[in-house]
A and B are shown apart, each in its own frame.
Chain A
């Protein structure tokens, strides 16, 4: 009897069978993604709703979001060890693990977006040092290596095989690497052809979106793991994360509205017409949904209702939808309003409306995310992300 009691105290109390069911469900969805990818590779990108004008869509949005989740998770994992926030320390393992998974997911999104993934090795043999996309490749590869080292170190500390203070160097490197998510913004902001992207504001906006996305995903993951007994994060800590995300979203809201007012104020010219397209034209649906979801997420995450886990979960989901819409509108507003826009012969996808991903794009994106969830659940099952052993 004594032995059994010890086992219960030492191990997290969880419902292992429930998680297996979810692994099978998400694995099935991942297979749907694989089939979609096969079809896209066989028949070409004609199966997507991308076009000559709007050449980047859901996949690139997914790439931006999950690069952000990876960066934000690395920062979240590093801060408690850098600033000695003892309460948060037991949860940095899952954050570092999420960083690794998100890096894989971001990599898969960019793989889905490129027409010839079999030539991806050219990134290594022929990498162009003047290309921000190549810099981003380096940053993403660094995230993969760093997050694996970080998880390993954190697990060793959790198992009392290493001292807590030894984490400081890797935490510092991960923190700096997380901030370098601004390199992803350079992919866009360094382009003179795209005036709305070509501003230093994008660095800040990308960093905010990264942190919000990471906090929102972590809130969801931790709430679910709490429910199934894998972790036991107190609601007040989750609430702090929610409030931080709400504050960051407020800053993003100020940036978005400032950009709109600057555009409208001129009353004429390219930027004015672009903002008109966004606020009143074909992009209006996406824009107003973005504002709605940003405001909803801020209210739910910042208000008292969020003290309950269910409220936090809804707020976190609204925040993720808001981040998706931020990224999607960011792409479309610029791509649908090029600086040289004169009528000529019909090209592929001469769409003048707005962009909604095709069913194939959605299937592939769902597949990639589901694959990531599968990896996360497998990790949760195999590794010790609970708090019991640590205590």
Chain B
């Protein structure tokens, strides 16, 4: 079994609902975003590229790619990040992370791994998120878990359910009848930085 995700970038409208759903579900501290919608071509977020009137907006949602051959797992000196044998999810163990940030250096998908530079602070006083998520710690690296706590309950990751344009698909890549396999079938797709040999589990449908 290998969990994977397909993201139809033709359907993505750049609403950031997936980012916000992830932030709420995982109670992410301020300025931590495990799932980000990046803007392609524009100089800053949510700006078009091209020259007026020929402007175009293109978005690229990026979270941990849960690679089959993860560079971060090889790099971590103490095995605090590892790939789960049973479902291919790349896990980060908060209680083992020594905070050396070598995984961030090793990851070709800059920014998907984020360090908690200070004690977690939240924009509102109330804690949010699922009750069974692990608490955030200062001085450790965090990242997308494919919402493994939701998978335990038979739910899909929060970003999948939140997408209003149904651009995200999730499931077992080894199962030809899974939602994600069906979404990929017959479609053109690319993967981020394929040349690096990391074999990501996220497919971008075009």
Contacts and interface: CB of A to CB of B under 8 A. Distances in A.
B110 interface: yes
B196 to A, nearest CB: 5
A193 B98 contact: no
Interface in A3-56: 43-46, 50, 52-53, 55-56
Interface in A313-362: 335, 338-349
Nearest to A51: B117
**Number of contact residues on B: which range applies?**
35 or more
A281 interface: no
Contacts of A145: none
Contact of A192 (B31, B38, B108): B108
Nearest to A45: B117
Given A127-B78, A133-B100, A347-B33, A339 B110 contact: yes
B100 A113 contact: yes
Contacts of A338: 110-111
B110 to A, nearest CB: 4
A114 B104 contact: no
Contacts of B100: 110, 113-115, 133
Given A56-B101, A193-B105, A345-B36, A46 B78 contact: no
Contact of A348 (B76, B110, B115, B196): B115
Interface stretch (A118-126, A223-231, A236-244): A118-126
Interface string B87-122: 000000000111111101111111100111111000
Interface residues of A, number: 46
B182 interface: no
A346 B19 CA distance: 12
Interface in A150-194: 187, 191-194
Interface in A198-256: none
A116 B97 contact: yes
A128 B139 CA distance: 20
Interface centre among A128, A187, A342, A349 (most CB of B within 10 A): A342
Given A194-B105, A339-B108, A131 B74 contact: yes
Given A131-B102, A344-B38, A115 B60 contact: no
Contact of B98 (A55, A116, A335): A116
Interface SS of chain A: loop
Interface in A79-134: 110, 113-117, 119-120, 122-123, 126-128, 130-134
A340 B108 CA distance: 7
A128 B110 contact: no
B115 A115 contact: yes
A343 B96 CA distance: 31
Given A55-B101, A343-B43, A119 B96 contact: yes
20 contacts: A44-B117, A44-B138, A45-B99, A45-B139, A46-B117, A52-B104, A55-B101, A114-B99, A116-B99, A119-B97, A123-B98, A137-B77, A335-B105, A339-B193, A341-B110, A343-B42, A344-B36, A345-B19, A348-B114, A348-B117
Given A128-B79, A193-B108, 19 more contacts: A52-B114, A53-B111, A55-B104, A56-B101, A114-B98, A115-B99, A115-B100, A116-B139, A120-B98, A123-B98, A126-B78, A131-B75, A133-B77, A191-B71, A193-B196, A342-B39, A344-B62, A345-B16, A345-B37
Interface of A: 43-46, 50, 52-53, 55-56, 110, 113-117, 119-120, 122-123, 126-128, 130-134, 137, 187, 191-194, 335, 338-349
Interface of B: 16, 19, 31-33, 36-40, 42-45, 47, 60, 62, 71, 73-80, 96-102, 104-111, 114-119, 138-140, 192-193, 196-198
